[in-house]
Structure 1
Amino acid sequence: MESSLITEASLVEQGVQVLTDLLGPEWQVALRPIQSKAFDASLEVRAKGDSTFTRLLVEAPRAVPPRFAVERLLPKVQLLREVNQPTNLLVIAPWISSQARELLRRNRIAYLDLTGNVDIRVARPAIIIHTVGAEKAPRSAPGERSRTTLAGVKAGRLVRVLADVRPPHRATDLHRATRLSLPYVSRLLETLEDQLLIRRDGRIITDVDWGELLRARAQEISLLSRGSYRGFLAPNGVAALLHQFPQLPTEYVDGLSVTGSSAAQRFVQVAVGGQLMLYVAPSLNIDETADALGLLPVAEGADVLLLNEPDAFVRRGAEFIDGVQYVAASQAALDCLSGPGRMPAEGEALMDFMEAHPEQWRVSKNDIGASPVQH
């Protein structure tokens, strides 16, 4: 059955079948009549031949954004616990995001989605089930296909501004700063509010969870996606390469920016070594840039990667140090978190620094309209 056609009843039916299969033939899962309209179904679960059972009251929403979990599910489960009956809340959905699953686990709310993400823990009778399914929403998941996501260049612009500039914000401020259409900005803000990555009072954004926002964005992108970069060798070493930057023609000085581990090292001590990653502006040809830098193309063992710059916004807030342009802290964190190998750990170390020293990278609302590249 197509997910777009899933009804509440069929969702419950499929969830019951998944739970029955997980528990095995020695257990019984039965639907019981329910009079309360506050829940979608009631399940009775018991081991065969045992009089002890647990009752699971079911919520079967088509989508479970974190905001839904906080505003709808938490009050219900708190009420159930006050009643103090052997009853638990079970959320059955087509798919549940990792952030929503974490919220549910933290509040001891059982969940089951049709991709295989399951966490059910009951004291009597003793039931512990934890399985992992899809980390990304299936294309057919209800509401997910049309949802504005954190993937893509446009979302990257909005994420950077929200992270770098302290609130409050209005959608119109963000529209002007990012040069994105106001309808797009409004749709993405709705998604971010559902994910609890921003909070609003009316039309005013009052709080941004910039750390989780950067992590959520990083999950949707890959720094070294296929065809986005080429590897080279610096014959005299990376340090010597950086030392020659001030003598390069202006178009190279302005059009090249250091990101990844080398950019993170401006703020935190990370592992020695690693490849030098340079964004190359669209105005520059990668082969000509490699020649200007004296780099040699290699198939393996590259110590320099030239990356196609996806958008000039990656240079927003960039800083020149000794004639070399380094991306801003938030961009370096994003690129490390979405990079290979040890880079995500380096990104987390940089995020710890950013959390402890916001004054060194976040700016006030007065700077929201700053140009994409700052010298």
Structure 2
Amino acid sequence: MTTAAALTSEAEILCIALGELNKRLPTAWDARTQRAITPGRFRGDAVVILTGPRNQQGRLYAEVRRSLVTKDLDPLVAGINLAIADTAPSSNSTLPRPLVVARYLAPPLRAWLAERNVPYADATGNVRISLDEPALFLRDVGAQKDPWRGPGRPRGNLTGPSAARIVRALADYEPPYTVPQLMKLAGTPSGNTYRAVEFIEEQGFLTRSADGRVQEVQWRALLERWSQDFGFAKSGAAATFLAPRGLPDLMQRLAKLKSTKTTGRYAVTASLATPKWEAYAPAKNAMIYAERVQDIVDALNLRAVDAGANVLITSARADAVFERTQELDGVTIVAPSQAVVDLLTAPGRGAEQARALLDWMEKNESAWRR
């Protein structure tokens, strides 16, 4: 692979990306470039000609960038499409397609482009090309992390207690607000907050004004992204127990814990919490965050088991799970923004339940967002 120091110009990026594309094309297919000399508004980087086995040709108008973030994509693709419309011939010949080329396209960028059926290619081999004439569909996966990311503190994930508090605050509190105001809402240090906001903005999940104020949060996409780094199943090893009299009895016992205050904080999450907002299916097990696991176990008279468990309890390493909790029949449950992430990482039908809850949250923002 070309070294990071060498791969800096857009011409090099285009050359390497098309080389990766040619490696993946079917036999007798070929990709080559010509400089953009067509009249009209398009003054892009190149026109890529894809030639099929019977000399059929398809054209792609390529824009090359050294780096991209999600918020760049909409104006970039719109500009290429405008150029395509402006230079379209009067005949019924097939119009060119846009092609986004970069040194590296992160998964959120590739997902954005794929959802809109926009062809792309990067210098690591991430490729997706779709043409109607000549007929071609090509998709392959290259690097999953930017091999050219420079030194410095990594910002490529949303792990850790501070990230949990920041994501939850962004989801739970409707903007606008400044980053210092977000720090107060989340209860997080300045450096952690600014780094997380920068990363989340780069991914296209929030929009800021010219003065840095958070203007809009794509909370559903942000929570789905956060589930890659956090969730009940990822918060630590969950201990498994049996509630001998079933989940209804367990909920009654949990309701009585509220007044004792001898067991530390707890919060029920996932399926057992969702009837507060959107009943999807009867819960088959209980998932509980606890500050002091053994105290909760003793108070609920649970039995430790290796098989046949219907209760899972994990220690709350990120105390964000206790932020903005609610009540269901006297039982403390997590906020919907936490429950949905735990469902996204739960086994079985957790993902289906998560989608149902996300749909409810979209229709009822005023019921849970502040």
Q: TM-score, normalised by structure 2?
A: 0.85
Aligned-pair CA distance for 1:260: 1.0
Structure 2 CA distance for partners of 1:208 and 1:114, relative to 1, 3 Å? same
CA shift at 1:184, angstroms?
2.7
Contact 1:175 1:185 in 2 (8 A): yes
What SS is found at the alignment partner of 1:224?
A: helix
How has the CA–CA distance of structure 1 residues 84 and 226 changed in structure 2, closer, same or farther, with 3 Å as cutoff? same
Taking only aligned residues, the RMSD between alpha carbons, in angstroms, comes to 2.8
Is residue 45 of structure 1 aligned with residue 50 of structure 2? yes
Alignment partner of 2:271 out of 261, 264, 277: 261
- Give the alignment partner of residue 226 of structure 2, picking from 217, 226, 245: 217
CA contact (8 A) 2:58 2:133 kept: yes
Q: Deviations over 1:261-306 (max 9, x none)?
A: 111122111222321011011xx2x334323321111112210000
Q: Does 1:26 align with 2:35?
A: no
1:308 aligns with 2:315: yes
Aligned counterparts of 2:345 and 2:2: Cα–Cα separation in 1: 32
Q: Distance in 1 between matches of 2:284 and 2:367?
A: 25
Distance 1:141 1:340 in 2: 35
Provide the residue aligned with 2:18 in structure 1.
16
Classify 1:116/1:220 alpha carbon distance in 2 versus 1 (closer, same or farther; 3 Å). Answer: farther
Aligned residue for 2:13, secondary structure, equals helix
Which structure 2 segments of 5+ residues have no match?
90-94
CA distance in 2, matches of 1:43, 1:143: 30
Gaps of 5+ in 1: 364-375
How many Å separate the matches in 2 of 1:128 and 1:68? 25
Question: CA, structure 1 residues 82+292, in 2 after alignment: closer, same or farther (shift >3 Å)?
Answer: same
Structure 1: how far apart are the matches of 2:130 and 2:267? 50
Q: Shift in Å at residue 49 of structure 1?
A: 5.6
- Counterparts of 1:316-335 in structure 2, within 5 Å, are 316-335=323-342
Cα displacement (A) at 1:210: 1.5
Which residue does 2:98 correspond to in 1?
89
Query: What residue in structure 2 maps to residue 359 of structure 1?
Result: 366
Which residue in the other structure is 2:192 paired with? 184
Contact 2:106 2:145 in 1 (8 A): no
Matched residues in 1 for 2:24 and 2:160: separation?
A: 38
Whether the 8 Å contact between 1:2 and 1:140 is mirrored in structure 2 is no
Rounded to whole Å, the distance in 2 between the matches of 1:242 and 1:205 is 39
Letter in 2 for 1:165: Y
1:342 offset after TM fit, Å?
Answer: 1.0
Answer whether contact 1:317 1:328 (CA < 8 A) is retained: yes
- Deviation track 1:245-270 (CA, whole Å, cap 9, x = no partner) reads 34443132x51110111111221112
> Which residue of structure 1 aligns with residue 283 of structure 2?
273
The secondary structure found in structure 1 opposite 2:244 is coil
Report the counterpart of residue 74 of structure 1 in structure 2.
Answer: 78
Give 1:114 deviation, angstroms: 4.9
| AA at the equivalent of 1:26 | A
Q: Residue 169 of structure 1 is aligned with which of 147, 171, 177?
A: 177
Q: Which amino acid aligns with 2:254?
A: F
Task: Work out whether residues 58 and 134 of structure 2, in 8 Å CA contact, stay in contact via their aligned partners in 1.
Answer: yes
3-state secondary structure, aligned to 1:310: coil
Equivalent in 340, 351, 354 of residue 347 of structure 1 = 354
What is the TM-score when the length of structure 1 is the normalising length?
0.84
* Deviation sequence 1:99-156 (CA, Å, 0-9, x none): 4234324544311235554321223333222x2526x832625369733532332121
- Contact conserved, 1:3 with 1:140, CA < 8 A, in 2? no
Query: Judging changes above 3 Å, is the alpha-carbon distance between structure 1 residues 32 and 260 closer, same or farther for their aligned structure 2 residues?
Result: same
CA 1:323–1:109: 2 relative to 1, 3 Å? closer
Kindly state the Cα deviation for residue 10 of structure 1 after the two structures are TM-superposed.
Answer: 4.1
1:285-328 C-alpha deviation (Å, 9 max, x unpaired): x3343233211111122100001112222111112344421111
1:204 aligned residue: 213
Q: Structure 1 residues 156, 236: CA separation in 2 closer, same or farther (over 3 Å shift)?
A: same
* Alpha-carbon distance between aligned partners in 1 of 2:255 and 2:22, rounded to the nearest angstrom: 67
The count of aligned residue pairs is 356
